[in-house]
Structure 1
Amino acid sequence: MCVVSRHRRRRAVSVSLQWLLDQSDLDLRLVSGTAADRQVTWAHATDVVDPTPWLAGGELVLTTGPQLPEDLPGQRAYVDRLVAGGIAGLGFGTGLRYDAVPPALVASCSELDLPLLEVPLPTPFIAVAQAVVRRLSEAEVESLQRALTYQQRITRAAVRKGLTGLVGVLSRELRCHAVVLDEYGAAMAASTTDARLLDLVAEHWRRGADDPRGGAVGAETEHGLLEIQRLRGRSAVVGWLAVLHREASEPTDRLLVNQAAGIVTLQLDWPAELIAAYHELGGTLLDLLLDPAQQHLSLAVHLHHFGFERAAPVVLALATAPRAHNRLLKLFTDRLEARARPHVVTRVDGGVAALLVAEDAPDLVAMLDEATREGGPAGVVIGVSGALPQDEVATALAPAREAAQAARRGDQRVGWFDRLALGALLADDAVRERVRSLTVPALAALAGGSNPRDADLLASLDAFLRHNGSWEGAARSLGVHRHTLKARMTRVEEVTGLSLDLAENRVLLHLGLMCRS
C-alpha cells in the first residue's frame, strides 16, 4: 500500500483564490494573507462556530459572523479550527452584523497566514458560490480536453516511435520520469538515463512484483512518489509501467497514466483487436497512395511503419475475382501476416490489392496464388505491376489490372506486367514456332533426363529466370538453399551446352519456357 505525504496529495479540480478576487463583478477585497498560492475546491456558507466537521479541506468558508465570539481568544480559536480543517480562505460578509471585518479576526488570520476576504453587502454569498462552481466546471472541461489531447499525442508517439516515444511524451506531460519494464523487470524504455533512478525503480519492482494482491506498487521516495503499475495482458503479466512523480499530481494525471498503461499493454501484448486495427490503418494508407489526387501529400513516407525500407522499390499485386472480395481480403491479410514481410492490403473495385517489396514479390505472389487455389473464392487471377518507387504507387493500379486481364485472357492465374511485351511477341504463331525450334532440344534434354537428380532442373531454371537471376529470390520460391540452386544451374549448363552468363541464352531459354506454358 502506498502512503503519500500531505504535500504530495493529489489535488482535486480547484479554482485559484486570486482568480476569484479578479472577478470585478464580485467586488471581493483581500484583507489579510496572500491569495496567489491558494486553491479553492468549493465555496461553503456557514455561520456555525465550528464548521470543521462538515469540511473536507480546500473550501472558501463564507460567514457574516452571527455566532462569532467577540473576544480576541474566541476569534483566535475560531481561526485555529478553520486552519486545522485545511480551508483555502475565509470570506467575511460586511454590512449586516458587522460594518467592517473585526480587527481581532484580521489579526488572527494574518498571524496564521489564512487569506481573509471581505464580501460587501451587495454581493450575495450565492454569487460567490456560483462563480466557484462555474469556474470548476470550466476547469473540468479543460481537464478533459487536456486528457483527450494527451491521448492523441501519446498514441501518435507510440505508433511512430514505440515505447521510447511513449515514455518521452508521458514524462513531458506529467513532469515525471517514466520507465517501461518487461515481465521480468528489465527496462525496455525509459525517459531518463540516471542510473540512481533506474536502480530505485528496479529495487521497488523487486519488492512488489511477487505480491499477488494488487496491480500496483507505490512508495514515497526522496525523489518523489513512485508508482509501478502491473500490465496484465490477455493471459499473463506482460510488463510494468513505473512513474516517478517529481511534483504534486494534477487531477487528470491518474487518467493519463492509465491511458499510457493501456497503450503499453497493447504494444506488448498485440491482441487480435490491435492487429486488426493495424491492418485497417495499412489499408487506409494504401487507399490514399492509390488515389492520384493525394500524391501531393507525400504519404509514402508512412510506409516505413509497416516495415518498408524507404528506398526499396515496390509492386502492386492485384487479385481480381467475380465475388467474395471480403473473403479474399482476409485470406491475403492472414497469409501475408504469417510471412512477416512488409505489406499493406486493401479492397479495390473488383478485388484486393497488396503492396509488396519488389524483391519479395515473386515468392509472395506464388504463396498467395497457392493460398487462393486451396481456400480462396473461385476465379481468382492475380496481376502484378512492374517495380516502381514508393511515391509512385498511384500509377501501379492500371498496369496491375492490365496484367490481370492478360492473364485471364491467357487462362493463367498470375500475370506480370513486365512480361506482357514478351507475351505479345509470342502471340504470333510464326514467332512461337521459331522459338520452339530453337529451344526444344535444350528443354527436352532438361525434361527427359534419366538421372533422378535432374528431375528438378526445368522448374529450377524457370524460377531462376523469372526471378531475374536472383539466387535468393529463386531459391526461396523453390524452398531450397541458394547453393543447391547454383548446383542445379551448373547442371543445366552441362545438359544444354548453353552458358547462363550470356544474356541471349537466358532470353532464349526464358522464351522457350513461356512457349511451353
Structure 2
Amino acid sequence: MAVAEDPTLRALLGRRDLGLSLVSREDELPDGSLDRALRWVHSSDLADPTPFLSEDLALLTTGTQFDDAVDVDTYVGRLADRGVLGLGFGSEVHRAGIPDELVTACAANGMPLFEVPYRTPFIAVARAHSEAIAAQAYARRSWALDTQRALALAALRPRGLDATIAELGRRLDAWAGMFDAAGALLVSHPRDAVETHALDELGERVIDILTRGLEAGQSLTLEDHTFMLFTVGRGGHLRGVIALEVDVLDSEARSVVTSVIAMAGLALEQNEQLARSRRRLHAQLLGSLLADDPGLARRVLGGLPPAPVVVAVAADAPAGPLTDWWERQRSDHGTPFFVAETEDGITMCVSSDDEPLLDEVASRFGVRIGISDPEGYDAFARAHAQALTVLRQRAEHGAVRYSDTVGSSILTALATDEARLVAESRLAPLREHDARTGAELERTLRTWLEHDARAEPASAALGVHRHTLRSRIAQAGDLLGGDLSSFPARAELWTLLQTARD
C-alpha cells in the first residue's frame, strides 16, 4: 500500500498479552480517535508533563500527581491541546481503580482513557509499541524492495514504460497515469478509474506545469479526486508528468515513485533522441517540398497529407510537445500531417479539411501561427511564403490566415518596421506642429483624403469652413515640403498616414 500503516492505539489495546482495556465509551469519542497513527508511548506522573511531550503519543500515569490538588479537568485539557492521543492509567499502583473525576474529564475532552492492569509494567506497553513500529517499518522496506524488483521486470517488457506505470498503480493500489509533454494521457491503470472530464482538466494542469518548468511534486484536488503530480525529465527539458491518485506517500512509497520517474525519464530521453533525428530528417525533407517537389518526402515518409493542403508556420512553439500532439491526432483520428522545425519556426502541413486543428494548436500552446491559402504541392513554396508573411505581421497569439490579411489592403503587407520608420520621420514636422500649437493638421489631412480630396464633404465632416480646410492643407503641405495638389503627392501622403503608428 502507498500510505504508511503506522501502529494505532486500537492495535495497542488489542494486544491480549498486555491486558489493556478501554474505559471510555468509543461511541462518545471523536471519530477515528483510536485509529490515528500512534508515534510513541511515554509515562509520566508530573502535574504538567506537556513541555516534555510530542504530538500523537499515548501517555501512561499512576495518578500520584493528583494527590497535590492538581485540577484533573485542567490536566486532561492540557494533554488534549498538546495532541496526546490517549491516556493510560495504571491501576492498583498508587490508587485502587480509576478516579471518577478523571473518567469525567477525559469524556469531556474527547480523550481516550484506558486501564493498564497492575500486572503489566509501563515499560512492557512501551516496548510492545516499539516492536510494532519496527515490524511496520520492516514490512514497508520489504514492500519497497519487492516493488522495485517488480518494476524492474516490468521495464524489460516490450512496452516497458506502459508496463511500469501499470505495475506502479497495482503496487500502490491507486490510479496511476503518465502524461506526455502535450498533456495527452499515454497510459493509465486502472484504465477507467478516473472520469474523462477529470482527466481532461488534469491534462490542462500538466501543460501548465510543463510550460512553467515546475519540477517539484505537486498535490492537486479535482472534485472528489486528489492527485500527486511528478514531472519527468531534467530541468529545462521536462518531457511529461506521472500522476497518482493518492493523498500522501510515505518514504518507502516515495522512493518507489522516484525510481519510476528515473526509468520514465531514461525512456523518454531515448525517445527524444529518436525524435531529434526525425526532426533533422523532416527539416531536410522540407527543403525538397519548398522546391515544389513532394516526390522525395513521399518516398521517405510513405505519404503526405492529401492535397489541397495548407501550410502553417508557428513562432516560439515547443517542437517536442507540438509534434507529440500531432502524433496523438494521427493515432486517435488518423490525421495525416507533416511537421518540420526551421529557423523561421515550426512548419506544419495538413490537408485543408483539417485546417481547423491549427486553431486548436494556437489555443492549446498559446503561440502565433500564420496559415496559407489552400494549395497543391506544386505551389508549396508559395504557401510557405504566405504563412511567413502573415506570421511576421502578427504580434498577438492566435492563428491568422493569409486570406484575412490580404483582403484588407496591400499597404498591410508593405507595413514593415522600416516602412513605419520612414513614414513617422516624414510626418514628424506635421506632428510636432500639432503637438506644439494644438492644431489638427494630421486629422484634417486624413479626413480630406478619406473624402477623395473634396473640400465640401471634408469640411462638413470636420465642422469647419471650406476656406479653413484649404488653409490647413496648404499649411500642411509647407510643413511636409510638398505640393498636395497632385495625385502622386496625395497617394504618397495617404501611404504615410496608413503606415505610421498613431
| TM-score, with length taken from structure 2 | 0.46
TM-score (norm 1): 0.45
